[in-house]
Structure 1
Amino acid sequence: MPMNQDVIITAALTGAGDTVRKSPHVPVTPEQIAKSAVEAAEAGAAAVHIHVRDPETGAPSRDPRLYRETVERIKETGTDVIINLTAGMGGDLVVDPLQPLEKLGELPGTDLVGGLDRLPHVDELLPDICTLDCGSLNFGDNLYVSTPEMLRQGAKRIQELGVRPELEIFDTGHLWFAKQLREEGLLDDPTVFQLCMGIPWGAPADPGVLQSMVNMLPEHAQWASFAIGRMQMPWVAQSILLGGHVRVGLEDNLYLGKGNKATNAQLVERAVQITESIGARVVTPDEARVKLGLKPRA
């Protein structure tokens, strides 16, 4: 696949990881997340990927009220940016490794609900994009659960709402199943894939693995890729060279360099520099809407 000449940059603003205590720049409240979204857009991001957090504790949240406030605050500024809301929260299952059926679903850290129960904020807010995590995974030391039937239900509802799903691919089997959803008519073209690299224990941040996943994509799919931690910026170039778009942000990496804690805007600025330095161009939100098959800005 030839190098991508016209690149969409997405900023993943806060995520759900235990990063709040590690950097003062990770946004927590709706006001902070919205401000970071605007700054990322001004730095060159065409899209922002949004999780929300409990404003008091910084813990990840599924509260639709927090999504509503965050999105409203972004829109009130008049900033032109594509809104991409996570729909992956609600899949966490913590089990006792010695007695896995004891207190199943009751251990701290478990937040496991059905596929449709992960979508109330999408139903209400109708963002441009929402994510669909396309399979279960040993996610670090715990489990992320997204069964085939959960995914079928979620994909069907997202399709009914007219929202574009971004298919989160953490391993090759997830890509295989996403293609099955398309075969079943539960995904509309253009399909949009996010190839997620380096998350234990999914696909490693290895160029050969990325190439094999790119080779598996449906014809005419739009795709992006990211890698976490210190591989984030090298992966900007890696993704573009293989024909994809890019994602950066504090969800995946906290640093610009050793000991240099970054803001989302600074990470986007660096991604813009890398993109332009290898001869590609950063596209505007309107250009990205056309590429991704989204509705024009209201």
Structure 2
Amino acid sequence: MVPRRATVPHVPVTPAQIAADVARCVDAGASMVHLHARGDDEAPTWRRERFEEIVAAVVDRAPEVIIVVTTSGRDWQDVDRRAESLDVHEAARPEMASLTLGSMNFPTGPSVNAPETIAALASRMRDRGIVPELEIFDVGMANVLGHLRKTAVLADPTYVNILWGSRGTADLSAINIAAVLAALPAGSTWAFAGIGRFQLRANTMAMALGGHVRVGLEDNPYEEWAGRTPATNPRLVERVVKIGRALGREPASAARAREIIGLPVPHDRARPEPAVVSR
């Protein structure tokens, strides 16, 4: 929601740009795509119609990929606007949607996720057959996940993205990794993301520990931080796939990723092709 092309020149903005980027990422080894919508002025938008344009374009270019839409509370907090992305009707309904399990401060401002908002979004996802992509930024949010499962707000399958290194949340350290992983419910499928210069380190740690990875320009605008070399989404995927293979981890196809996570196979998809999660 933050990058703009003036400072992050390769961030895709229009539906066509996003779909083309997704297709290149799938060719490079990605099995899942986390989508944000932008207006013509590049500002984030919550409007369902824009998400429908994006999803239709993505499905046309990469019909096998797992589609995850955002319900971010960074720019707006009310449930109705945040849930618009869940009601995409064109092409295919998203299989997953992001759900952040607590409030936090980013350098540019807060992301507000009140307990009642989390429960309401989880309920709307459940009603639509959409699996949450649970976003955790510290051990407190991992504890919230356990509570929500005990109170039946959340159920299996449990897929967790753990994001490290944002100012105001957990940094990337062995003690934090151990604490968060220990707090996850048994059977959770988890991935690491890293903010900024922590992205590559977090990805490598996840693969070494048997987990999965999230990469992309949302979290990290640079391929090489010392020289501030601009990144592209496909190049970030290519790099992590290369490192994964060096560690003995092959990228999973989207079909295999669905098996790992526990997602049902969508009836309107075809063409199983290579794609980033592996065992």
Contact 1:134/1:168 (CA < 8 Å) preserved in 2?
yes
Q: Of 112, 125, 129, which aligns to 2:76?
A: 112
Specify the SS of the correspondent of 1:42. helix
Query: What amino acid is aligned across from residue 250 of structure 2 in structure 1?
Result: R
Query: What amino acid is aligned across from residue 24 of structure 1 in structure 2?
Result: P
Specify the SS of the correspondent of 2:99. strand
Query: What amino acid is aligned across from residue 11 of structure 2 in structure 1?
Result: V
Q: Where does structure 1 lack aligned partners over 5 or more consecutive residues?
A: 1-15, 93-110
1:82 match = 66
1:141 positional shift:
4.5
Q: Of 30, 36, 42, which aligns to 1:58?
A: 42
2:2 match = 17
Larger relative contact order (CA 8 Å, sep ≥ 6): 1
Q: Paired residues, what number?
A: 262
Q: Where does structure 2 lack aligned partners over 5 or more consecutive residues?
A: 269-279
Question: What TM-score do the two structures reach when normalised by structure 1?
Answer: 0.84
1:200 positional shift:
1.7
Q: Does 1:72 align with 2:56?
A: yes
Q: Of 34, 41, 48, which aligns to 1:49?
A: 34
1:254 positional shift:
1.7
Q: Does 1:31 align with 2:16?
A: yes
1:83 positional shift:
0.4
Specify the SS of the correspondent of 2:10. coil
Runs of 4+ aligned residues of structure 1 deviating over 4 Å after TM superposition are none
Change (3 A) 1:25 1:78: closer
Contact 2:206/2:212 (CA < 8 Å) preserved in 1?
yes
Contact 2:221/2:230 (CA < 8 Å) preserved in 1?
yes
The separation in 1 between residues aligned to 2:46 and 2:127, in whole angstroms, is 21
RMSD of aligned Cα (Å) = 1.5
The separation in 1 between residues aligned to 2:263 and 2:118, in whole angstroms, is 21
1:206 positional shift:
2.0
Q: Tell me the alpha carbon deviations over residues 24-80 of structure 1, each in whole angstroms, 9 at most, x when there is no partner.
A: 11111111111111111111000011111122x211221212111111011122542
Query: What amino acid is aligned across from residue 236 of structure 2 in structure 1?
Result: L
Specify the SS of the correspondent of 2:88. helix
1:207 positional shift:
3.0
The separation in 2 between residues aligned to 1:141 and 1:266, in whole angstroms, is 26
Contact 1:84/1:131 (CA < 8 Å) preserved in 2?
yes
1:114 positional shift:
2.2
The separation in 2 between residues aligned to 1:141 and 1:72, in whole angstroms, is 31
Identity %: 35
Q: Does 1:267 align with 2:236?
A: yes
Question: What TM-score do the two structures reach when normalised by structure 2?
Answer: 0.89
1:175 positional shift:
1.3
1:1-298 alignment, distance < 5 Å: 16-55=1-40, 57-88=41-72, 91-92=73-74, 111-125=75-89, 126-257=93-224, 258-297=227-266, 298=268
The separation in 2 between residues aligned to 1:260 and 1:225, in whole angstroms, is 22
